[in-house]
Structure 1
Amino acid sequence: MIAHGFDDIGLHRLEANVQPANHASIALVQRLGFRKEGFSPKYLRIGGASGAIMNAGHCRQMIHGFDVQHEVIPGSIPKRRASC
């Protein structure tokens, strides 16, 4: 699906917003090569309570052997750096 977005549709960047307590979703974006870019506290309102999200991004350069200059999600392997 990531290759489809970059190669077939021509996107240069994908983003994922994940609730920090959702470990399965964090593991998924990690396996897909997304990099942590930020954290948004009080981003969501769920059942009357505020919730945070982790922001992650994936750029076309990352699929072609580059890595963006952001914090790496634990467990992923940084490669050569390039800006997104």
Structure 2
Amino acid sequence: MQHGPVGLRLIRTRDARVLQRELLTNRSWLQPWEATIPGGVGGFDMRISIRRLLQQHRDGTGYPFVMEYDGEVAGQLNVWGIARGSLASATIGYWVSERFAGRNITPTAVALATDAAFQQFGLHRMEICIRPENRASLRVVQKLGFRYEGLRRRYIHIDGEWRDHYAFALTQEEVPGGVLARWVAGGAPQDAAAIPPHDALQS
């Protein structure tokens, strides 16, 4: 999948070295948003992580992608937690290297992945959950017109603690022409992701 300089492709085992390097180089940039395991030990092996992601892909429960910019690895995007049948839903998670920030890589990749989920993967609903403090990710859902669905308290273990998250979603019927095309044409509703006052948290 490609739009301009931004590409999205299935992760490969040989991506382990470059992804591990990007994660280590961007440690301070990414750590506040990284999922952790309660009581888990330190240490991380990208090769093992990729093998697990590819197994999920074979099992039909995930689509693990690498985000590229002008052919250079810029980060990862995972469509995970896929539920088939009557739910037909999934969640998107991602990270991008600091040196690529501000180039619209993440919103483009999220749009590409959501369009593929709706048009090729047979899914009906896509969700993104974001910490209230993560202003960069909040801008992604604002740009693409994801709809705010609510506050999930102490929802995901991030950077060593259970963290509140805002939930945003789109269904296939909301974007009949595609998420990317709607955004490029300037048709994404700018207030869809607005946080109501009763859910607004101090960042």
Task: State if a TM-score over 0.5 links the two structures.
Answer: yes
Distance 2:120 2:158 in 1: 36
1:12-31 equivalent positions in 2, closer than 5 A: 12-31=124-143
Give the aligned partner of residue 40 of structure 1. 152
Query: For residue 61 of structure 1, what is the aligned residue in structure 2?
Result: 173
Distance in 1 (CA, whole Å) between partners of 2:115 and 2:155 is 29
Distance in structure 2 (CA, Å) of the matches to 1:46 and 1:7: 31
Alignment match, 1:10: 122
Tell me how large the CA RMSD over aligned residues is. Answer: 2.1
TM-score of the superposed pair, with normalisation by structure 2: 0.31
CA gap of 1:3–1:50, structure 2 versus 1, over 3 A, is closer
TM-score after normalising by structure 1: 0.69
Amino acid at match of 1:13: R
Q: Which letter maps to 1:6? A: F
Residue type of the alignment partner of 2:145: G
Q: CA deviation at 1:46?
A: 4.0
Runs of 4+, deviation exceeding 6 Å: none
CA distance in 1, matches of 2:169, 2:148: 7
The AA in structure 1 aligned to 2:192 is V
Question: How far apart are 1:47 and its partner, in Å?
Answer: 5.1
Deviations 1:44-68 (A, max 9, x none): 3445544200011110011127xxx
Match of 2:193, SS state, is coil
The structure having more radius of gyration, on CA atoms, is 2
Distance 1:23 1:47, change over 3 A: closer
What is the percentage of aligned positions where both structures have the same residue? 32
